Amino acid sequence: MSLVVFPFKSEPTSLIAANLAIATAHERVSEVWAVAAEEDQVMRSVEPIAVSISATHGKPVSVFAQNRIGTFRSGKGDAINTALKKAREIGFERVHFYDADITNFDHSWIDGAEQKGDDGYEVVRHRFPRAATDAMITWMITRPALAMLFPGSALARIGQPLGGELMLSDRTVVEMVKDPLVTARSDWGIDTVLTYSTAMSARPLYEHHVASGKRHALYGALDELRTMVVECLDAVSSLAGLPDPGPDLDADAPSPVPDDLKRIVGYDRDRTTRLLATGWTPDEIDLARELPDVGVEVLVNRERPNFGFMNGATWGMTLKHLLRNFRLGDPAWEALAFRLWLMRVLAYTTAHASQGYDHAIDYLEETIRGYESS
């Protein structure tokens, strides 16, 4: 039987409750866990709801706080590792993970993964369309970097390498709990290293397609994503030089994207543009001067927004420089990496996302193929 795990931090209690109830009601699911960031008010508000869902369905539904396991900032990775470790001790046939903020979660997610598990796949990843200006870390950092580091491999083609929605067989759980790359990664880097390590452990991976897309909380100004940007950049650069998992990847065929998803705006462009000028330090300016080719253009941002130059090719070159030189924890590097990513996101939004969903996604896919052969 299967376990379903939701890491949660600050989602509305009603949304967490709805998702816990959906998972608990599924016939394949024998137990559900909600792993809190800490023992706070959110966790206390979920506890009584879990008790009542458990009583309704006659299955254990547990709410507990994550342990300190990794060596990076304590974040989502500690929650995932806490669940993996505990699941390994108890023993479940399969373990599913879902973000707690999904607003269109239903049994089809669990069914899709379970069916492929029945077909023998040990790792099933959910893949789904997202708004053209959502997933900007996936599109601008993780997918390009995986394409550059592992050209021709499954890692260069996985649709949602940062997705928190996946199912692992018990054997895969055992492998992940033993893998220091995974157990160390307590921060936002967890999704990246899990993608890599599961690709190495279970071949081939399966990507299950969720046609309705992933609906979840979106962003205001993109500074809300600053920590995620630098941690995901660090995580993917930590994979440089590691073995390649090979090309095999099985997946559902894509399907038409819902029209309303095509119209969703992922972030606030004006508030994000204002971030380009703020907070430059002498150390960040020095690092920007050393960027290959783009230093002068980048530094214009101290005076006025300037990002049109950050096209796909220029970003590819800049990202390569970041993959080699970026240092997590160094304030100047973190500020510069985040700012460069903002320029890339704004350039893409202005030149491509503005031309409509289908154009934008085709363009993004084409950039990934370009990075793979660069």
The binding site for ligand GDX (CB under 6 A) comprises: 7-9, 11, 35-37, 66, 75-76, 79, 99-101, 135, 137-138, 162-164, 188, 191, 216-217, 228, 232
Closest CB to ligand GDX among residues 37, 200: 37
User: What is the smallest separation between the CB atom of 229 and ligand GDX, expressed in angstroms?
Assistant: 9
Instruction: Please state the closest distance from residue 222 (CB atom) to ligand GDX, in A.
Output: 11
Minimum CB separation of residue 202 from Mn ion in Å reads 25
Beta strands in the chain (DSSP E): 2-8, 29-36, 61-65, 94-97, 123-127, 166-169, 205-209, 249-251
* Interstrand relation of 94-97 and 166-169 (parallel, antiparallel or unpaired): antiparallel
Burial of 4 (0-12, 13-18, 19+ CB in 10 A): buried
Please identify, using beta-carbon distances, which residue of 131 and 310 lies nearer to ligand GDX: 131
For ligand GDX, give the closer residue by CB, 217 or 299.
217
Residue number with CB closer to ligand GDX (298 or 319): 319
Alpha-carbon span 279 to 267, nearest angstrom: 21
| Tokens standing for residue 257 | 């994207």
Residue 188 interacts, among ligand GDX, Mn ion, none and using kind-specific CB cut-offs from 5 to 8 Å, with ligand GDX
**Using CB under 5 A as the criterion, which residues of the chain lie in contact with Mn ion when the complex forms?**
101, 216
Look at residues 223, 350, 347 and name the one whose alpha carbon lies nearest to residue 279: 223
- Which listed option, ligand GDX, Mn ion, none, makes contact with residue 107 (CB within 5 to 8 Å by class)? none
- How far is Cα 230 from Cα 330, in angstroms, rounded to an integer? 10
Q: 35 vs 148, which CB is nearer to ligand GDX?
A: 35
Q: Shortest Cβ distance from residue 216 to Mn ion (Å)?
A: 4
Strand partners, 263: none
Q: What does DSSP say about strands 166-169 and 29-36: parallel, antiparallel, or unpaired? A: unpaired
Report, in Å, the least distance between residue 9 CB and ligand GDX: 4
> Are the beta carbons of 17 and 47 closer than 8 angstroms?
no
Least distance to ligand GDX, CB of residue 299, Å? 28
Taking the least distance from each CB to ligand GDX, the nearer of 101 and 114 is 101
Q: What is the DSSP letter of 141?
A: I
